[in-house]
Amino acid sequence: MTVRSQFISRFFFITVLSAFAFQCKMADLNNPGDPLSEEFAKRSVFAEFVRYFLLEKALPDGLVLLLTKNVVPYEAGFRIYRVDPELGLTNEYDSDIRAANTAAFPGCDPVRIAVPPSSRDIVTFTGTSSNHLVVHRYGTDRSLSLLQDQTGLGSPNMITFDSTGTTMYHINAGVDPNTVNRSYRDNITGSISMNNAGSYPFGVGCSPVSIRTSDTDGIIFIATTVGAQLGINVHKKTGTDTTFHVGGAPFDPADNPTQNNNICLVEPSRFLYMTSVNPTFPIYGFRYDSGGNMQVLPSSPFSPDSSYSAAASVDNFSTSLTLDPNGKFAAVLYGAGGTNYLRILAVDGYTGNLTPTEQKLSVGNAPKHIVWDKSGKFIYLVSDTGGTTNKFQLEYFKFSQDGTLTKGVNSPITFSNMSGDFTPRDLKSIQRYYH
C-alpha cells in the first residue's frame, strides 16, 4: 500500500468517525482538545502522517553469501548479490573472495556472518583455524570497505545483536564449557571491541547452536545440545553488567526432542520457537514472561504438514525456520514424500499456535540457511540441484502481506558446482534504510 493510500484511508476513517459522533454531540469545532472537533481531526491525521514518515523502513538491497573452497586454490570470502526491490534477486554481485589466510581475512573456513540492525556492515567469523572477527561496510553506492580485522575474542562461532546494534553477544567455542561474551560496537565507525564485565562471560554448557536476545525484557536465550536433550539456557539481565541464569539449568520441554537449530522470537507476544528433528512434530513453541520463566505452549510441538517426513539440512547449524518482521507468519523448510518444501505458517498472536497455510512451494535438495529480509518482502534460501547437474543454488520467493507466496522471477540462481568449487556457509540479507 502506498503512503498516499494509507494516508487517505486513515483520513477517511477519522472523518467518518467524527461525523457519526457529531450526531450525538455538537463539537467545539476549533478546540483541538475536543475529540469531536474539526481541529482535533486535522491534528490527528497530521500526527499519523508524521509518525509514518518517522518510522525506519527497510528496502531490499542485497544478499550476502559466505563461501569457502576447500580445494586448490583454497579461497574464501563472500559475495553480495544485488536485489531489485520489486523483482528480487539478480545475477549481479559484488564480492571479497580471497586466498585462504590464517593470519587475516578470510581465514580458511569462515563459519558465520551477521548484519547488525539498521546497518550495512557485514561481520564475519573466520573459524577455528584463525579466529578473526572481520567487519566490512557495504556502501549505498555498492562500494565495499574493510573496516576491521582482529583477534582476541576467543573462538567466536555464534552471534546476535541488540536492537540498537551497539551490543554484540557471541559464543566462544574455544573454552569448555562454552561461554557467552559481550562486545561493544560503534555504530559510526563499525568497530567492535570486547566489553566483558560483571557476569560476562557466562557459561552455557556444550555445543550452543543458536543465540537470540529480547531487548524488551532484557533476556538472552541460548539453545544447546546435551546428549539427546534439547535445552534452552535463559539468562535475565539484572543490571548493566549482571545476569541471572533463570532456573539454574537449561529449560527442557520434557519429551526429549533431538536438536536441529534455530531460535525465533516474537517479542511483543513473548513467544519463542525452536526447531528439532522430531519425526512428526519438529517445531517447539514456548511462552516466556518478563522474568524469563518459560512454559511450553499447550498445542506444542507443531508440524508444518500432515505428510512431514524429514527435517531440512542441519550442516553448520543452518536455519530451517524464520519469522516475518511483524511476527505474523513463519516460513519453514522440511521434507515430505521425497520432496522438499517451503511452507508459510500463520502465527496466532494470542495462543502462539502455528497453523499451516495453503502457501506451500517445492524447493531444491538439502534446503538450508533460510532468511526473511527485514522488509518482509522476500524469503531466501540455499539448496542444490543434485542429479546430473550437481549445482549449488540460491532460491528466493516473494511474500505479499495478504499471505501469498510466489516464486521469484529469477529463481533459482546457481552459483557453484557441488564438488571442486565453493561451498555455502551462511546467508544474510542486507537492506537500504530510509525514513
For the chain, 435 residues long, give each residue's pLDDT as a single digit of tens: 443 444 445 444 444 444 444 444 444 555 555 555 565 555 555 544 444 444 568 899 999 999 999 999 999 999 999 999 999 999 999 999 999 999 999 999 999 999 999 999 999 999 988 999 999 999 999 999 999 999 999 999 899 999 999 999 999 998 988 999 999 999 999 999 999 999 999 998 778 889 999 999 999 999 887 554 568 999 999 999 999 999 988 888 777 666 667 899 999 999 999 988 888 899 999 999 999 999 999 999 999 999 999 888 888 788 999 999 999 999 999 999 999 999 999 999 999 999 999 999 999 999 999 999 999 999 999 999 988 899 999 999 999 988 899 999 999 999 999 999 999 999 999 999 875
Q: Tell me, rounded to whole angstroms, the distance of Cα 131 from its chain centroid.
A: 23
Count H helices and E strands in the chain, helices first: 2, 31
pLDDT at 56: 61
pLDDT at 250: 86
For 425, the 3-state DSSP assignment is strand
Rama region for 399: left / alpha / beta (φ>0; ψ in -120 to 50; rest): beta
- From residue 419, give the alpha-carbon distance in Å to each of 64, 386, 416: 21, 11, 8
Closest CA to 74 of 431, 434, 425, 422: 422
pLDDT at 19: 46
CB of 201 within 8 A of CB of 172?
yes
Closest CA to 282 of 373, 347, 354, 357: 354
pLDDT at 177: 87
Handedness of CA 348, 353, 357, 361 (dihedral sign): positive
Cα–Cα distance measured from residue 189 to residue 191, given in angstroms and rounded to the nearest whole number: 5
What global pTM score does this model have? 0.87
DSSP state of 251: B
pLDDT at 378: 98
CB of 418 within 8 A of CB of 383?
no
Cα–Cα distance measured from residue 2 to residue 103, given in angstroms and rounded to the nearest whole number: 50
pLDDT at 414: 97
CB of 144 within 8 A of CB of 163?
no
Cα–Cα distance measured from residue 331 to residue 354, given in angstroms and rounded to the nearest whole number: 10
